[in-house]
Amino acid sequence: MPRAAWPGAGRSRRHGRPASNTGDVRESPAVSVAELLMARGARVRAVEPHADPQLLPPGVLCVDLTEAEIAATDAVVVLTDYDDLDYGLVERHATYVFDARNRCRGDRIDRL
């Protein structure tokens, strides 16, 4: 079963755009992405330093951003741009990163 890490789930919308550094998951596109990944058989873990883990979709495990968590995933999907997350740790230890927020650099990283 594929494993995906999901750094940052909480985002609210301000003036039609997602807002960074909030724990509001009500309109977060990350929730839909997590649900789609799980529907396709992925085990999804979220690194969510701001939101209440109880607000994440059922089946999403909230974890700390650590080297061990990153190494245990098949892919890291960056869907938020929290200033307090260590994206360098992701760059150094992830096998593959899909970065929708343009926070990571490297040859194993695809960006939107």
Residues 6+ apart with CB under 8 A from 30: 6, 8, 9, 10, 11, 46, 79, 80
| Beta-bridge partner residues of 97 | 76, 109
Angle at 86 between CA 93 and CA 71, to 5 degrees: 25
Alpha helices in the chain (DSSP H): 29-39, 67-71, 87-93
Distance of alpha carbon 88 from alpha carbon 51, whole angstroms: 22
- Domain count for the chain, please give it: 1
CATH code where residue 24 lies: 3.40.50.720
Digitized pLDDT (tens) for each residue of the chain, 112 residues in all: 555 655 544 333 333 334 455 555 666 788 889 999 999 999 999 998 888 888 888 999 999 999 999 999 999 999 888 888 999 999 999 999 999 999 999 999 999 8
Q: Which pTM does this prediction carry? A: 0.76
Q: 22 lies in which domain range?
A: 3-111
